[in-house]
Structure 1
Amino acid sequence: MSPLVLLFTVMTQSPTEPPAEAAAEAPPPALVEEEEEEGPWTGDVGLGISFFSGNSRAFTVTGDAMAEYDTPEWAITLEADGAYGDAAEGEDAERELTAKTLGGWARGEYRVTPLLSAYTFLGAETDHPASLELRTEVELGMGVTILEREEEENELFLRGYLGGSYARDRRFQYVPTRENLPDVTLWSPALGVTFRYDVNERVELREDALLLPDVIGDSRVLLDSTTKLSVHMTERFSLTTFFELQHDSSPAEGKVRTDTSLSVGGELSL
């Protein structure tokens, strides 16, 4: 074969690819930073203020704080709230007290099964405009989970409670004149409900209601209801709206049976 033909044949052949080198070790995948696990304790504090001037002058401040401990077996809630306000009409009018309340409550609940639980409740509160110097209360009972659904950004929870309650009201009239009033004791069954619903990832609705009908002493019914709507502006800060209703069928002399309040404020999660 001619040397030229041989050279041409060699040049036109596709060079064989060199053997693949051993695959270099792929860099280890970036470590995904684990999200910080939330502990069993959570809490928040809230504050609301309103101020009016002009023909009428009014000032009201409200505050609340709550801490919750939650595990598969135990749920503990510590809560406190209070309000102070006064108002006057006219330039030289004397300011009158419109709100002066303070209360603290503690609740412990043991989940016997995912559906059934046993709980105890302790509370103390004062409300000067309602002539309530001090109310102490204790409650024991059972809870039943009616509905529970929890997803990443969505919670739906409904639980009912049935128990027995004892409360004692130490009454004192602060306005218009200061004088002692007869104390009142309440023995009653306790019917309660707790509702939680996440409308979406930013909006949360909560409802707590308690009915106490006296079955031993004079006919008397207490009803407490708190509705809370929270709009999360950031991960830790929320705008909140509270609507509270308190009904006492036998209030102190000269006091109305039903008190309602609507407040708007901010809340910081801890």
Structure 2
Amino acid sequence: MTATAATTAVADFLTLNGISKIYRTNGSEVHAVEHAAFTIPSGQFVSILGPSGCGKSTLLSMIGGLETPTTGQIAIGGDPVREPRDDMGYVFQDATLLPWFSVLNNVLFPVRLRKGKTSAYHDRARELLEMVGLWEFRDKRPDQLSGGMRQRVAICRALITDPDILLMDEPFSALDAISRDEMNVALASIWDRFHKTAVFVTHSIREAVFLSDRILVMSRRPSAICYDVTVPFARPRDAHVETDPEFVRMVSDLRDKIEEGYKG
């Protein structure tokens, strides 16, 4: 089987050239990322795997303009990334919803930040919340939702302004196994609908294979991209793909790459 791609994909939409990140504290240096160089076409879902502490989240933060590379350049659509951009959507490990806002107002919050008219985005908010089964909870506060429901709201919030790229940093890591599986199916469905360029950091190999078009593996620090593999499963996908022998083989192969700190 071969992976399908968005028909409007543009090659080299996201480009990283010679990216490194060095933290200097108390006279010593910590090389969080040594050399990262890759490109991602528009509409591709890419997961980043690697050992704990290898710099996955640091790399994502640099892509998002939240941190500045020590060396190298990151560009989106040919434009250098120097700060957070309006055409990016972020989903973090914690949903970070505003507790005094309703579900609907949390989804619309990025519009408020940009001083836009929330009424103009009401239909899109409804569409997104209906997609994740939360429209009937639109007037609830975050403390009235489960962890999985809060993360669904966070994904809707990230998509409300129709960003070009979606950055996700282990968004399901705090969920129980059943909720996490449900969120993977929900995210796959959302991606099939909107085909956003996505960069997804996770510790779950199975999650990465299920969701992704492509997987990048980072080595141990000082880390670099040591393995780059295409996921060979057609879309749309459902949970049954995980019983495919090729799926099982791919998960095992990726686990070996991570454990041995593959240097290719």
TM beyond 0.5: no
Name the larger-Rg structure: 1
Considering fraction of residues, name the structure with more strand.
1
Which protein has greater RCO, CA pairs closer than 8 Å, 6+ apart? 2
Considering fraction of residues, name the structure with more helix.
2
TM-score range, shorter chain: under 0.3
